[in-house]
Structure 1
Amino acid sequence: MTPATIPSRFGLACVLGSALLLSACAEKQVILPGERESVRPEADLSESRIRLDGNTARAIQLPAQRVNAEWTQGIGSPAFRVDHAALGGQLQHLWEVPIGNPDSRRARITASPVVGGGLVYTLDSGAQVSAVTPEGAVAWSTNLTPASERAIDSTGGGLAYANGTVYISSGFGLLSALDARTGELRWRQKLEANGSGMPLVRDGVVYVVAGDHTGWAVDAGNGRVLWQIMGAPSVTTVLGSGAPATSSDLVVFGFGSGDLVAAFRQGGMRHWAEAVAGNRLGRAVSRISDVTGAPVIAGDRIFAGSHSGRLAAFDLHGGEELWLARQGALGPVWPAGDSVFAVTDLNQLARFDASNGSPIWAADLPGFVNDKPRKRGETWAHYGPILAGGRIITASNDGLLRFFSPESGQLVGQVEVPGGATTEPVVANRTLYVVSSDGKLHAYR
C-alpha cells in the first residue's frame, strides 16, 4: 500500500462512521393513527365519478316508422336522414359477403355502407368500392388505387350516393365519382390531403372535409372545385371524420380543432364559427379535439360532440351556444322527439333532453377489452346510434348489435355480428346492413 492511498481510505472510514453515528441519534418517525383522507377530494378522476349514473324512464313521442328504399348519406342533414326506419322485431342473419380488405394494424374500414338505386355500396380498408345486391351478390367492384400508389398506403374514406352516382373520399387524398350501376369512373379530384372524411351531396354539390382542415365544395357533375374554406389547424384528428351537414342555405363543417364552421352554400362565405371545446381531466384521450360527433341539424338547432368530453347544441342561424353537456360523442347524435341519443366518450349510450342537454338515462356499453387495472389499454368501439323499428341500435366490435328501449335505456335484445362491427348500421327495405372488421357486409331481417 502506498502512502498516497492511506489518507483517502482513512477519510472514507471517517465519513461512514459519522453517518452511522448521526443515524443512530435520529428520532424515530411518529406515524399518527387515523384514517387518511386526500387534501383534494374533488380531484378524484375515477371513471365512476364522471360517468352518468342512474336511469329515468321517460315517455317519448317517436316519429312514425316508414319503409325506406334508400339510405344514401350521413344522418346530419334532415333532407337525407331517415327519422325512423321500419325494421322487424326479431332479426335473423340473412347473409354475409366479402367486400375487400379487412381491418388491420395499418388500415381501417371507416366508411358506413350506403344504399341507393337498388344496391348497397361499401368501401374496404384500402380503396376498393363494391356494389352488392339485396340478395348478397357482388354486382361490381372498382379499385381506386392510383397507378403510382400502393393499396396498402391508403386507409379510411367515406361514401355517399346521389342521382345514380357514388361519391368516394379516400385516404389517397382523392374525391372520386363512379357510375352507380357499372362502377365506371366518371371523374376524380385531388384534395391535396388525406380524404378520409365522409362526403355529402346536395343540389349538385359535393361537400367534404380534407385532412388539412379544409372544407371543400365540388361540382358533383364534373369534379370542378367551386370553393374552399379553412378551419383551424390541429394535430389530433380522427380517421374517418363525419360528413358536413346542410340546411336550405348553410353547410356546417366539423374540423379536427373542435371548431364548427357554418358557410353559405352559395359562394362559401363564412357565416359563423364556434367550438365544441372541452378537456376531461385524467383521460389522455380527451386531448383529441376532433368533432367526432359530426354536426347534426334538427329544426333550428345543430348538435355536435367531441372526443374531449363535450356535447353541445347551437342555434343554426347565428351559432349561439344553447347548452353544453359534459359528455362527449364518438359519432353523430340521433335526434328523436324531445331527445338526442349518443354514444359517449365514456362508453355509454345516453339520452339527453334536446332542449337543455340534461341527461335522462345512460346505459353502459362494454369498455376495456382487458379490464384488469394494469392491462387497460384497448377499448371496444361502438357505432351509432340509429333509430329503427322502435329501438335505439348500436353496433360494436365486440361482436354484437344491441337494441335499447328509447324510453328507459333498457337493453331489449342483441344479435351477433361475426367478426365484430366496424361501421355504423344502416337500414333500407326493412333490412339492416353493417360491415364487420374482417371485411364483410352483413344483412339482417
Structure 2
Amino acid sequence: MRQLGSWAARAGVGFVRACAVAIVSMLVPAVWAAAVALGIWWGPTNPWSWLAPFVLVCAGTLALSRPVCRMVRFLVARWTGTVIPAGYRQAGPVTRMSTGYWWNGFGYERTRRDALLDQKWRVRWTDPANWRDLRFAVTAPLTAGMAASLPPAGAAAAALGLGQPGPAARLTGALGLVAAVAGAPYAWRPLEPVAVRFLRPSPAMALADRVDELTAQRADTTVVQAAEIRRIERDLHDGAQARLVALGLSLTTAELLMETDPDQARALMRDAQAGATASLAELRDLIQGISPPVLTERGLVDAVRALALDIPLDVTVDADAPLRLDPPIESAVYFGVAELLTNAVRHAHASRARVCLARHDTDVIAEVEDDGRGGADLRTGGGLTGLRRRLAVFDGTLEITSPPGGPTRVKMEVPCESL
C-alpha cells in the first residue's frame, strides 16, 4: 500500500512537471501555429496573408527564445539541482567623459540614459548566445517537448475516450490513461540532458568569459599590489624611517656632548636605545603584515592559532592535521581569515568566533563563524568583495551566510593540488 502511494505521488508530481515542460517548450511552436492560422483566416487573396505570418514567426521566435531558455534553466535547477550557466554577455560600465558625453563601450551619447539604452541593445544583438537560444527554441519542442507532451495528451485522450459509449473509444481512452500514468514520472526527465547539451555556453563563449574574468583579476591584483606598496612605503616613512632619522640626530648630538656634558650625552644615548628598540618593533610589525614568519616556518594552522591569540575575541580554532600548502595559497587563506576576524571585531561587534580549517579532496576549506549582529554582504568596493576577488585568482570561492541578527558564517574554498 505504501509503494502504491509512493508511485501515485511520483506520478502526480511527474504529471505536473511534464505539463510545465510541455507548455514552456511549445510556446514558440504555438506562435508558429497562430501565424499559420492567421494566414489561412485571411485567405490567399489577401496580400498580407503570407507576409504577416512570416513577420509574426520571426518576431515571436526572437522575443520568446531568451525567456523560454531562462525558464528552462530555472526548472532544471529547481528539479534536478543542475545549474546551467547562462553565458550571456554582461554590459560594461558607462563612464562620463571630460567632454560631458557618456561612453558605453561602443560610442558616445549625450545622456546616461541614451548611453545605457544603446549599450543594452548593442550587447543584446551582438551576443552569440542569441543563436544558441534560437537553436534550443527550435530543438526543444522536437525532443523534450514531445516527450513531455505524452502524459497530458494521454490524459486528454482518456477524458475524451472514456466518456464515449463505443468500445473503440473506451479502449483508446484506457490506453491513453495507461500512457499518462505510466509515463508521468519519466516524461519530463529528457529536459535536463537536452538543456545541458544545447544551453551550456559554447567553448568560444566560455573562453571569452574566462578572458574577461582573468582581465578583471589582473586589474584587481595590480590595484592590490599598488595599494600594498603604498602602505609599506607610508609605514616606513611615518614610522621606522622617522625614528631612525631621530636616532641618527641623537647619536650625533651625543657625540658632540661627550666631552662637555657627559650626563646629557648618556641621556641621549638612552633615548637613542629606546628609539632603536621601537624601530625594531615597528619593523617586526611591518614584516608580520607582509609575511608572518610563523606562517613560513610552521604553516597555516599554527599561524591562524597565533593570530587568534592577538584578536580581542574568544576565538576557537579547529583544524585537521597541519596543512602545508603552496605559499601563495597559504598567504591568501591566512590573510582572508585575518580580515574576517577583524570584521567580526570592528563591524559585527562579536564576542566569540570559530575558525575551522579542513581539507576535502584537493581543496582547502576555511570557515569563520562569529556571533555578531550579521548583515554582512558583498558590496561594491567592500572588503568582502575584494576578498572574493583575491580568492578568485586561485579559482577559489567565497560563500557568505549572514542573516540580520547573526550569526555570520563565511566559507572560503581554494583548490590546491599539493594536498
TM-score higher than 0.5 here? no
What's the TM-score bracket when you normalise by the shorter of the two chains? under 0.3
User: What TM-score results when the alignment is normalised by the length of structure 1?
Assistant: 0.21
Compare the two structures and name the one with the higher helix fraction.
2
User: What TM-score results when the alignment is normalised by the length of structure 2?
Assistant: 0.22
Compare the two structures and name the one with the higher strand fraction.
1
Relative contact order, higher structure (CA 8 A, sep 6+) = 1
